[in-house]
Structure 1
Amino acid sequence: MPRKKENSRGYHQRKVNTREIRQRFLIICEGEKTEPNYFRSFRVSKNVAEVNVHGLGKNPSKLVKSANELNNQDDYDQVWCVFDRDSWTVEDFNNTIKNAETQGFKVACSNEAFELWYVLHFEFLNTGIPRNDYKKKLTYLLGRPYNKNSDTIYDELFEKQSIAIKNAKKLLKQYEPHNPEKDNPSTTVHLLVQELKKFMQ
């Protein structure tokens, strides 16, 4: 029997839909718990993908530097920087996007809070609301107090994930061309979610 080919990293190539699917993800998050807890919950098949998530608790400008350092140590296939508009300066926010793209990294950013992604699982929201109001809105939509650092939110929202993707795409279409710093509300989290979904069990 012929031996399986190995790629440059020594992984056996496995194919689904005629393409190699072994992927290594590095996801660097601005938040220490909210975003990391969500992305660590993806049930990605370990046979076809590896996902390393880091929550730094630092401002966006430091995410790219940390992503560079970690990627240089272990050469990932996809590197994502996840952060919010929050109250960061326009310069800090825009430079983070520019620097990430210059390094070949991908960006999943939200204006103005990551919780917008959660809301889109339930409804289409195209009117900006104060950051603090997302907690109230999600408490109503979930039917229980929203816990920002929940480690169960992924499972609670899983069945509505396709709705959130559809709503996020629809929202971005309203901003053409898209300006992440000004377009409130908006999010590109769905781009990362779609990539991870390709490797789900």
Structure 2
Amino acid sequence: MSHGKYENGRRGRRAPARKERATFLIVCEGARTEPHYFEGFRVRVEDADIFGKGYNTLSLVQETITIRENSHKAYDQVWCVFDRDDFPVENFNRALELAAQNDIRVAYSNQAFEIWYLLHFHFHNAAIHRDQYAEKLGKELKRPYKKNDREIFTILRGKRTDAIRNARQLYESYTPHLPATDNPCTTVYLLVEELIKNLPGQP
């Protein structure tokens, strides 16, 4: 019969196997807004490399491929984060196709990343131009919204579950899915869910 090891005269329990954490490469279109948000996860998620490149759609996917090829790490998940903006539909669709062909997941927002922030406060399915999000967020935050706000992750953290639920409901309201024209819409919640799975303390 097998027994556990004895330590200091007592039978020691085997330490539970440590869960392997996923490694992430997250490459963002914005140089500030998206990186500042995802960096809020960084101290709690092991091996999450986050870049804000200032490129858009197709160029961003191409840059992500280059970063992965030149990295010494073998990432478990590679993500691009970009907006629909007012770029040509062809560019946006081609970016999604190129990402899929290269095993890159996309957290896109139509029109802007700020729709993800707004969904922390309430469900929103009215199409508005990206320039209107700052005003709406300012009302919810009770202060002017700034793209380079490093406190935004902390401010929104307690409402994250609501945001995921609202974003999923919004995404599922479109049948069939046409990312270039589904406005508003965001798949940022899919990336956030993956990051949450890798927070310390998660089963």
TM-score (norm 2): 0.86
Correspondence for 1:5: none
Which structure: larger Rg? Answer: 2
Structure 1 residue ranges, 4+ long, deviating more than 3 angstroms after superposition: 43-46
Equivalent residues of 2:42, 2:48 under 8 A apart: no
Correspondence for 1:50: 47
Whole-Å Cα distance in 2 between the matches of residues 136 and 45 of structure 1? Answer: 31
Aligned amino acid, residue 104 of structure 1: D
Correspondence for 1:67: 64
Structure 1 gaps, min length 5:
3-13
Aligned amino acid, residue 60 of structure 1: T
Whole-Å Cα distance in 2 between the matches of residues 142 and 119 of structure 1? Answer: 10
Residue 88 of structure 2 is aligned to residue 89 of structure 1: yes
Whole-Å Cα distance in 1 between the matches of residues 162 and 54 of structure 2? Answer: 29
Whole-Å Cα distance in 1 between the matches of residues 129 and 74 of structure 2? Answer: 38
Structure 2 gaps, min length 5:
6-16
Aligned length: 184
Whole-Å Cα distance in 2 between the matches of residues 44 and 98 of structure 1? Answer: 32
Whole-Å Cα distance in 2 between the matches of residues 75 and 63 of structure 1? Answer: 19
Shift of 1:200: 1.5
* Aligned alpha-carbon RMSD (Å): 1.6
Shift of 1:30: 0.5
Aligned amino acid, residue 58 of structure 2: S
Shift of 1:45: 3.5
How big is each residue's C-alpha offset from its partner over 1:89-148, in whole Å with a ceiling of 9 and x where there is no partner? 111111001100110010000000000000000010011111111000000000011011
Whole-Å Cα distance in 1 between the matches of residues 56 and 114 of structure 2? Answer: 18
Identity between Structure 1 and Structure 2 (%): 46
Correspondence for 1:9: none
Correspondence for 1:41: 40
Equivalent residues of 2:92, 2:180 under 8 A apart: yes
Aligned amino acid, residue 193 of structure 1: V
